[in-house]
Structure 1
Amino acid sequence: MFRHVGKGRTLAHNLQLASLLSLVAGIVNVTGIFALQTLTTNVTGHFAYFADEVAQNHFAQASVFLLYILAFLSGAFSSHFFIEITSRHDFKLGAALPISIEVFILISIAFLGPEAVKGNAHLIACSLLYAMGLQNALVTSLSNAVVRTTHLTGLFTDLGIELSKLLFNRNAEQQKALTSSIKLRLTIIAFFFSGCIVGGLVYFFQGMLSLLLAAAILIFGWVYAYLKFKILMMKRKLQH
């Protein structure tokens, strides 16, 4: 799911990627809300808060929301920059670097105590937004913009459109394509919500250690994809 790009990807690849990273995004989302009382997986709301603070001449607070927006942007920029640089040699390394950085950020924040979290709330929020920018740009690049995992507004819009199209479209091939797309969007939504529920339960009992679960899911996904590729290569060698 991390190695195939563009036309080389199948629905199965995208479903695997969508379920894995949407689950992570859901956990990070609910942890950010509970621990920091702010959005840490997307910047849509931060634009509204930024505009509201500027309108009230609260420029110091407005600058905080601007930093949140720039943190997410920086993560997206960094992710694609790493992919472009390393893909010239081996694309799997391009995917590995953003994931490694995201895992490092999640693990580092997970072990912070309540006082450290409270005293560094803005820095932690920026770090999580940077990590989600990394993830969203990575999954967008891999899937050719088919999969998005850190926010649901566009997904629900596209899902509504495609459900409507399904009612009127009678072409079998187009119906099949629409059904596949709807299945992918429902998978992302379901796993994002699942991540929110599971992450919320873990946070209730273990606090910021809920981010360790998100990091573990990322590591598991990478190891699974790596081993699956190695097994496939071994089978091909044996066949030849």
Structure 2
Amino acid sequence: MFRHKGRKRTFSHNFRLASTLSFVAGIVNIVGVLSVSTLTTNVTGHFAFLAEEVSLKNYLEAIHIILYVLFFLFGAFICNLLVEIISRKRPRISHALPMFIEILILTIIGLSTGLNPIYIAYGLLFAMGLQNALVTNISQSVIRTTHLTGLFTDLGINLSQLFFTKKKIELKRLTRIILLKISIILFFFFGGVLGGLLFVPFQLKVLFFAVGLLVVALFLDNVVVYYNLTKRKIMTSKSS
């Protein structure tokens, strides 16, 4: 689900990518809210807080909020930079390093005790900027795992198009787009609910559930690729 791009991607690839990483984003989002009272999967809300702090002349707090936005931006920047550099020589694994960085960040925060809440927020925002850019790059902007405002807007548009779509092929394509967006919203919600339920007993260690999901997704993706390559080699040797 990570390696295929463009026309090579199927609905199954996109669904697995969307459901997995939106679930992770839901966990990270609720952990950020409950642990440091900060939104960590998007930056839209931070601009409202920024305007409030500036209007109240709380300039130090305003600077922190600006840094929140910049860390999310920096995460997206670093992700695409790494993908572009690696894809020139090893396109099949261009997604791996950004995911390893996200896993590392979430693991460090999950293990941390007494860490300054501001640094926790910085780390989570960077990780989510990284993830959002990776998903956008892989799916070529078809999937966004954290931007629910845009998702609900697109979903509303797509639902209205059902009244005007008559051809079966177009209707099938539109239905899959709607299902994909609904899956992102639902899995983001499920991740948030699970993270919220587990936060009281586990605190920041809840992030280990997100880490485990990312590790399993990477492992299974490599297993599938290895299986397909082995299968092709066997078929090739038989035909020759």
Question: Matched residue pairs, number?
Answer: 236
Match of 2:182 in 1: 186
**Residues 47-62 of structure 1 aligned to structure 2 (within 5 Å):** 47-62=47-62
After TM superposition, the score normalised by the length of structure 2 is: 0.96
In structure 2, the partner of 1:105 is 105
CA–CA distance in 1 between the matches of 2:43 and 2:225?
35
Which stretch shifts more, 81-90 or 54-63? 54-63
Hey, what's the Cα distance between the residues in 2 that align with 1:159 and 1:151?
12
Partner of 2:207: 211
Aligned mates of 2:11, 2:121 — CA distance in 1: 33
Please give the alpha-carbon distance, in whole angstroms, between the structure 2 residues aligned to 1:90 and 1:9.
19
The yes-or-no answer on 1:151 pairing with 2:140 is no
In the TM superposition, residue 111 of structure 1 has moved relative to its aligned partner by 1.2
Shift of 1:164: 0.7
TM-score (norm 1): 0.96
Q: Corresponding residue for 2:76?
A: 76
Q: 2:196 is matched with which residue?
A: 200
Q: Distance in 1 between matches of 2:36 and 2:75?
A: 19
Which residue number in structure 1 is paired with residue 125 of structure 2? 129
Specify the alignment match of 1:3 in structure 2: 3
Where 2:182 maps in the other structure, the secondary structure is helix
Instruction: Note the residue ranges of structure 1 that are not aligned, 5 or more in a row.
Output: none
- Which 4+ residue blocks in structure 1 deviate beyond 3 angstroms? none
Match of 2:171 in 1: 175
Between 165-174 and 144-153, report the one with greater CA deviation: 165-174
Residue identity over aligned pairs, in percent, reads 47
Match of 2:220 in 1: 224
Counterpart-to-counterpart distance in 1, 2:91 and 2:121: 30
Deviation at 1:217, TM superposition (A): 0.4
Tell me which residue corresponds to 1:36: 36
SS in 1 for 2:62: helix
One-letter amino acid of the counterpart of residue 228, structure 1: V
